[in-house]
Each structure stands twice: as C-alpha cells, then as structure tokens.
Amino acid sequence: MITTIFDRKGHERVGGLFPPADTPHATAELIPPDLKRKVAPRIPNVPEPEVVRHYMHLSKLNYGIDDGIYPLGSCTMKYNPKLNEDLARLPRFAVAHPLADTSHVQGSLQLLYEMERILAHIAGLAAATLQPAAGAHGELTGMFLIRRYFEDRGDSNRKYILLPDSAHGTNPASATIAGFTVREIKSGPDGMVDLAALDSVLDDTVAGIMLTVPNTLGIFEERILEITDHVHRAGGLCYFDGANLNAYIGRARPGDMGADVFHFNLHKTLSTPHGGGGPGSGPVAVAEALVPFLPVPRVVHRDGSYQFDWDYPRSIGSMHSFYGNFGVALKAYAYLLQLGDAGMRAVSENAVLNANYLQTLLKRVYPLPYDRLCKHEFVLSGKGVGNGVTTLDIAKRLLDYGFHPPTIYFPLIVHEALMIEPTETEGKETLDQFAAAMEQIAREAKENPELLHNAPVNIPVRRLDQTRAVRQPILAYPFTD
Amino acid sequence: MRYIVNTAADRRAMLAAIGVDSIDDLFVDIPPEVKNRYRPLGMGEKSELEVREAVEELSLRNADPHAVIPFLGGGMYDHYIPSVVGHVISRSEFYTAYTPYQPEASQGTLTTMFEFQTMVCELFGMEVANASMYDGGTALAEAALMAERGVGAGKIGIARAVFPHHRRVVDTYTWAAGIDVVEVPYMADGRIDRAAIPAGLSGLIVQTPNAFGALEDLAGLKDAIGDAFLIVSVNPLSLGVIAPPGEFGADIVTGEGQPLGIPMSFGGPGLGLFATRMRYIRMMPGRIVGRTVDAAGNVGYTMTMQTREQHIRRARATSNICTNAQLSALTATVYLATLGADGLQEVAQLNMEKAHYLAARIAAIPGYELAFSAPFFNEFVIHVPGDPQAVRSALQEDGIDVADPRILASLGVNNAIAFAVTEKRTRAQLDRLANRLEALQ
C-alpha cells in the first residue's frame, strides 16, 4: 500500500526547528491585507519520526545502482563512488553563495577553471563551459553556439541540422528549439551513417550534423573521419552527442575525429549519480572557432586569482542562472582525479569488454539485428520470441528476477528494441547471472508465456495502467477538503 | 582502478568467449589515425585518501563560513536545512536511481514526484506542476517559450526588475526562438509600471518579490494584458505568508526552489519550479507524474502525458528537457514535509521580520534610506551615502558580505546596496551590520 505524505493526519503545530523571533516586528503588520496569504498550503504538520519513516518506506520501493545491475542503454548507469558524495558536502563548497565576493570563493572558481581545462583536453578541443545543467541542455548550448557562429559570419542560409535516424529524441528537439529544421538521414544496412545519403543532402543550407559516437546501436562510426570531413567541406559543423563517451574515454577524443562541439554527461561517463532524474551536468567543449561564442560569465585566471569575465561580446549569453551545476562538477572532478589516464583507459576497456561479452552470451537466445563488434552497448530485438510476448513483457519479467531492465523500444530503427549497457562497474559474475535470467525468460516465453504477460508479480506493485494515467489524469493529490 | 570488478582471469575468460585475443581487438573499429592522435592528460591515478585531501584543501581556499556573515540574495539564500533532509536524500535507493522509466521499480521516486507536484501546486495556487526544471532561470525561459506557443504574438514583455541572471537566460532562449523581448520599466516604488506594458504580447513576465525585494501587486494584472499569458516568477519561501500568484490569475508560475532546503553550492544544482493551468497542460514542458492503478487495482504512480516530450514527439516536443533536477525536487519535498504548512509560515515570518528589523535600523542612520517604498519580504535595497563599493569593502573588512552594487546599477539603481536576511541571522548579527554602517559616518 503506497501512501503519500498528504494521507497523514494533520497534527497541531510541530515547531522546534527554529528559535523564536528575536526582533520586534510582527509579520501581520508588515503585509498589506491584499498581499496576505489567506489559505494555508495543504501540507500536513507531521512529526519528524513519521516523516523519516514515510520516506524510508518509499526509498525501499526504489531500485538504485547500489541494488544491482542497471543496464539502461545510453544511460551509463555505473557505480557512483561514495567519496564524491562526501566531498560535495564539504561545508565550504556547499554554502558558497554564487554572488559571494570572488575573493571568498577562490576554491570553487579554481575547481571550475581546472575542470573546464580537463574536459577540453579529454574532448580534444580548445575550451569548455560547465554551464549546461544536463545533456539536453548541453545539446541546446551547442546548437545555440552553431547558430551564433553562422550569424556572426553573416551566413543566414544554413537552416538545416542533419540527424541520423538512430539519434536520441533530445537531438531533434534541441535543434528545433535552437531554430533549426531537422533533416533525418537513414542509416545504412551496417547500422552506420550512409556516406552517399549524407552527401546527397549536404549543401550550403546545412548548418551541421549531430552525431552520437558510438551510435545508439553501440556501433562506432568507422567512417567518422570521412563523415566529418564531408560536412566540413560543405561548410557545416559537427556536433557530437557525448552520451556514449564511456566507449572510448582514455583512448580517443572527439576533437581528433572532427568534432567542433561536444557535450559530456557528467552523470553518465563521469559517475555522478542520476538522482532519479537529475540533477545532471552537460558541459560543452568547442573547437577554437567557436570559443568567442561560449556562454558568459567565463572563469579566468588573471593576476594571480580566479575571476569571472563577462567581456565576450559575441557570446550567446547565459544558459544557466549562475555557473552550472557546481555540485555535480565537483563530484566528476574528484572522480577524474582518482582515475587519471590509466583509470580512464580501464573504464572504456572494461565497459567495452563487458558489453561484448554480454552480447556474445545473449545473441544465442535473442535476435541481434546488427551482429558485429559493439562498443559499450548493444541492441537486441524482442521480436520473434513468440507467443505474443513483447519486449515490454521481457522487461517486466526481468524485474521479477531482481534485475533492472534495459532501455526498451529505443533506438527506433530496431523493432522491439532491448538496448543493453552493462558499464565497467559490473563483473563477469553479475553478467552471467543477468544472461541466465534472460535465457530463462526466453524459455518461459515459449513454455509459459502467461508468466511474462502478467509480470511483474514479485515486487511491490504489479504492471501499472499507463492508459488510465493519460485518460484520467490525476496529477496532484486529490484533496477531499 | 578501484571501481572495476573484473579480475585478470575474468578478462581472459571473457575475451576467449567473445573470440578475440586482446582488449585492443575490441577497438579495431576506431580509425588508427584517431587513436594515434590521442594525448593523455598527464594525470596519474590517485588513492581515495589523496583525492579526499586534495579536494578538502581546495575547499579551504573558500572563505570560512563562520568568518563571513552573508546578506546575499538574488534567488539563492543562506537558509537553515533541517538534518532530516540530508539523511533522506542520502538514501542511495533515491540518489542512485535513474529516471523512472520502469515505474514498477521506481515507486519511491514516482511517489515523491507526485508529492512534489502537489506541494508546488499548493504553494503557487496552481492546478498542475511538472516534476522540475534545471533552475529558476531556465524555468522562466521555458515559460516564455510556452507563452509564445500558446499565443504566437512573437513578443514577450519582461519587467525590468526581474533578476538579471534570470533575464539573461530568457534573452538567450528567446533570441534563438526569434521572439522579441520588450522591457517594462519599474515605478518609483520599485514595482512594475502597468501603464508602460505594451499591447500584443504573448506573455508578460513579472517577478515577486522582484530584484529589489519588492512585492509586486498582481491584482488586476491579468486583466490588463488581454490574451497574453501572465508569467510570475516567485520565491517559494515567501508564499508561506504572501498570497500565491494563482489567486491573481497567473497562467504560469515559476521559481528558483533553492530556498526549500537545497544547499547554495555556488549556484547549482538549484531547482526550477514550473506550474500552470490544466487547460495548458499539452503545451507544458517537462515530466509529469500521475496516479494510476496496477494490474491488481492498487494505487501506483507513473510518468504520464509523455506525448509532449522529446523521446516521443522528437522535433515537435514542447521542450528538449530530459534529465531535470529530481533529487533537488525530492530535497524540497522532504523539506516541506518536515516543516509542514505551519513551519513554512513560521520560517517565512522569521525571514520577513528580521529583514524589516534590519531595514528599519539601517534607514534610521542619517544618509541611508530605503530605495523603494513597496512592501518587501526578506530582501531590500538601501541608498547609501557615497560610493557603494566603499561601503561594501568596509562591510567585508568586518566579515559581512553583500552583493556587488553593480548588479543594482545594471538595473538603473545607483548608489545602492541590496541586503537579504534569512532566519539564520541573529539580532546580534543584524545589529553588528547596522552598527558598522553607523560607524562609517
């Protein structure tokens, strides 16, 4: 039985959190009657022990990376080191006010400054900004930068952004919000960008291409240098979506592949926790030609101290109220300090090894539409398992076996897709157990499909009625008073 | 690397199962030219102990919070965070979960999202809230885009007394969308000049309390702007005592949620609050959670109304937002649950009363006066005699920090300093500040 805090009986005033007022004024006399709140918000007064039990109970209905493998493709659900959580709570970082005098926040500024440099280097690009608060926000920043770049050159003709049909949904949405029109290019039979299809749309109306490398099938674009070269020759720019950086961190750099703009997902590749849906951080690195357009303020080191510099007249402006998600950048910074070069290499090595191993085990049981070397993830199809069993059924049955399911029904170019990304922080033993459960589910699909249609049965709630949620929307607590 | 689980023997067995000889064989698809261009960072591996010490040492380059009393505002404030909040959000079932794409394994996150939406609606007096945006500035920018989708006039009005750092984000997003932004001046009392609101807007953005701390009078404002959306950016904590914008016909209400138990953390992560009317829900950006039932008829929660969102609608989505600020939303939820309606009123009163005590003390000093006559909540502007930078420096020498007066000057308020006061400030600290200013005479 799931209850909300609003189901708690209201108590009398609880109090005790704050000392009594030590100043003479009374609010009642300070607020003009027409500005005064007359009806209190319906938030019950609940004593602390009951608040704690309520949220402890809810936490137990959740599955996190500390509970087990979380193989959501393209989400890079790796272990989140505990050290980084401690460091983000260091008092002098946690209480730093964004408008504090810069002499009071030299540590915070130095961290931002160093992190931007480290990220620019990992990207193989000239400079970076930490302002974007998530991956999609990084995409939007990148699209704005490209827009400004052409505006600055007086080239108003370039209104198209090219996107492979395997792209994440955020890509077309980001390009559109930045004022571009999206043109989709079909993938070739090998799952990669078809150069001929690309060339057929490249002209002086194309502002650029958004690529995910490796792509969402987990396949590295082997012709990446030709792709970026062709786009550049046509006068366009190349945006790389960094969601899949875990596949090659420590071994290759997007700048060396022809990227002009690249966004990181610190909450994926660099281990910061996802928090059930954020906060993330989506720093953007750019090539030299785009540096003048980066968001302001920028952090500079000048005359022996770290400062903000606003004097970038060609900048796109600001993307965030302040300087981005400092608390997230701090965790990623600590992670990179631990890793060093060798650690980054070990990340991509084990991420790719784990994915190929799991792909090898599972392709015996489930169709693998693009059967080849994968990078950090791969995409199976649930189609053809038989007996009317869908990918959704497979995912829900995995819950009964205690595993979080993979990403499902994405990418769109694979029917009944199951997109699996184990990450480097799972071991062979866990992968073997996961594969065994997937094999068992395939057997059940043939022998007793009802088990799958009815799944899950072993967890706190059964399958939820999504249609009802849309048709009869209840989007806030239905108070009866 | 400490976080790798595979042993050397595991790796050998896995390579054999895959049918390759070495790890390098797994990377043959990356062009050799690309691999050859790779340049390492030149950073060695570090132990946990070394990293802890290095980052702690870096933190010591920030000022000691006990040595500096902040009177800084601008949407982020030095509020007290009850211990419960940190303990609940440190449950790794919450903070190490992904977006709740599998609702059956995410009822904890989803239930708290539903609670959060409800609390935002209650605070704002609105009908539907999303599960969060990145921060106050981006929430306001998304509100401008939504108003444009709804009305399509190509023009947004914005009160000049909106926080400049929120305004800058609005400017960036609207530039790309090709929307004109028209600034609406403030009157001598610090509030928006209604007579100067242009016609033919898609939306009008006002903020209350505004960048001067002044509480805007929202009554009748909606009627004054015709079909345009009334967009109100608020400090959520003020709504413990101040009437919510929903009562005045606001179409969209946004805000920076940091005052609700979230550490300032040098400006991020914050929490973007966003609420609207049910009739506009199809235009709304961001995730929404709804209540439904499971196959056994029991209540459960799931993300819903997703056809607005990028993963379904792609190029025609209402926003590109995906990851938002869920853990900050949980933080605000636990904060509000811990305080309850009465505690929220109590903390809002403390902010307001202490701010008014300080304002009265400073305004009693010859040469100092309140810059605006409008009522205020916990932030106010004082005209100071002489150079405000000199006043600021003098305060800093005494361990008191106030925001750079150039921020006010950028809004046309010269020779002035803004002060923000929270429940954490004691009367002794307020007196110390006032006495220091007196001593400057």
DSSP line for A323-348: SS-HHHHHHHHHHHHHHHHHHHHHHH
Residue type, B171: D
In CATH, A346-467 is 1.20.1440.230: no
Residue B150 belongs to what domain range?
A: 83-335
pLDDT of residue B312: 86
Q: Does A357 touch chain B (CB under 8 A)?
A: yes
CB contact under 8 A, A64 and B342: no
Q: Does B287 touch chain A (CB under 8 A)?
A: yes
pLDDT digits (tens, 9 = 90+) for B196-218: 999 999 999 999 999 999 999 99
CATH code (residue B431)? 3.90.1150.10
Instruction: Choose among B108, B165, B242: nearest Cβ to A321.
Output: B165
Q: Do A379 and A370 meet the contact criterion of CB atoms below 8 Å apart?
A: yes
User: Could you state, in chain order, the average pLDDT of each consecutive group of 10 residues for chain A (481 residues)?
Assistant: 91 88 89 96 96 98 97 97 97 97 97 98 98 98 98 96 93 96 94 95 98 96 97 98 97 98 98 97 98 98 97 98 98 98 98 98 97 97 92 97 96 95 98 98 97 93 95 95 71
Q: Do A137 and A265 meet the contact criterion of CB atoms below 8 Å apart?
A: no
Nearest CA in chain B to A86: B52
Q: Which tokens is B282 given?
A: 């199809």
pLDDT of residue B307: 87
For the complex shown, is ipTM > 0.85? yes
Round to the nearest angstrom and report the end-to-end CA distance of chain B. 62
pLDDT digits (tens, 9 = 90+) for B4-24: 999 999 999 999 999 999 999
pLDDT of residue A369: 96
Both B346 and B251 in one domain: the answer is: no
pLDDT higher than threshold 80 for residue B441: no
pLDDT digits (tens, 9 = 90+) for A38-50: 999 999 999 999 9
CATH code (residue B216)? 3.40.640.10
- Burial zone of A341 (CB within 10 Å; 0-12 exposed, 13-18 middle, 19+ buried): middle
pLDDT higher than threshold 90 for residue B395: yes
Position B60 in a domain: no
Both B266 and B407 in one domain: the answer is: no
Our count of domains for chain B comes to: 3
B248: pLDDT confidence band, cut at 50, 70 and 90?
very high
pLDDT of residue A191: 92
B438: pLDDT confidence band, cut at 50, 70 and 90?
very high
Q: What whole-number distance in Å separates Cα of residue B43 and Cα of residue B319?
A: 39
Cα radius of gyration rounded to whole Å, chain B: 25
Instruction: Choose among A6, A134, A169: nearest Cβ to B134.
Output: A134
Both B26 and B120 in one domain: the answer is: no
Both B309 and B349 in one domain: the answer is: no
User: Given B335, B359, B380, which residue is the final one in a domain?
Assistant: B335
Position B115 in a domain: yes
pLDDT digits (tens, 9 = 90+) for B397-435: 999 999 999 999 999 999 999 999 999 999 999 999 999
Both B253 and B145 in one domain: the answer is: yes
CB contact under 8 A, B98 and A72: yes
Both B387 and B305 in one domain: the answer is: no
pLDDT of residue A430: 98
Measured between beta carbons, the chain A residues lying within 8 angstroms of B349 are: 21, 27
Share of chain B above pLDDT 70, in %: 100
Q: Do A175 and A143 meet the contact criterion of CB atoms below 8 Å apart?
A: yes
Q: Does B175 touch chain A (CB under 8 A)?
A: yes
Both B169 and B202 in one domain: the answer is: yes
For residue A86, the Cα-to-chain-centroid distance in whole angstroms is 22
Q: What whole-number distance in Å separates Cα of residue A97 and Cα of residue B78?
A: 8
Both B146 and B27 in one domain: the answer is: no
Both B369 and B386 in one domain: the answer is: yes
Position B3 in a domain: no
Q: Does A309 touch chain B (CB under 8 A)?
A: no
In CATH, A83-338 is 3.40.640.10: yes
Contacts of A196 (CB under 8 A, 6+ apart): none
Both B259 and B408 in one domain: the answer is: no
Instruction: Choose among A61, A92, A353: nearest Cβ to B62.
Output: A92
Q: Does B39 touch chain A (CB under 8 A)?
A: yes
Q: What whole-number distance in Å separates Cα of residue B143 and Cα of residue B280?
A: 12
Instruction: Choose among A41, A51, A352: nearest Cβ to B341.
Output: A41
pLDDT of residue B313: 87
The number of residues in chain B equals 441
| Residue spans per domain, chain A | 5-59, 83-338, 346-467
Both B160 and B266 in one domain: the answer is: yes
Which positions 257-276 of B are in contact with A (Cβ < 8 Å)? Answer: 263-270
Both B358 and B424 in one domain: the answer is: yes
The number of residues in chain A equals 481
Q: What whole-number distance in Å separates Cα of residue A452 and Cα of residue B315?
A: 34
